[in-house]
Structure 1
């Protein structure tokens, strides 16, 4: 009975760790996307032409 409980707790902790890892990966991807968007906006400001803005309007942002 105790062994079963230990296995259950172990599996639960493993599941929670995997969930946390997945959440961290998703957050990292979101941060990378935001940085990419910021970089594109900066490039648009530096270049001064509206090509990047056109890309943004096509994407729908």
Structure 2
């Protein structure tokens, strides 16, 4: 038996509401990738300490402290 226009509209409305309940499919969701640095935190801290310490000593030498 064929659907009437009223049944077709009701089915489309129901399908739309059910799709909204289910949410988006996995393929439509963009997952945020975690950025992982190739250098460890400890190595970055040592580099910053060496650079900042060298800069402080150089400024002190220029100001004759």
Quickly name the TM-score band, shorter chain normalised.
0.3 to 0.5
Q: Please, what TM-score do these two structures have when normalized by structure 1? A: 0.41
> Larger relative contact order (C-alpha < 8 A, sep ≥ 6)?
1
Structure showing greater radius of gyration is: 2
Query: Larger helix proportion, structure 1 or 2?
Result: 1
TM-score, with normalisation over the residues of structure 2?
A: 0.38
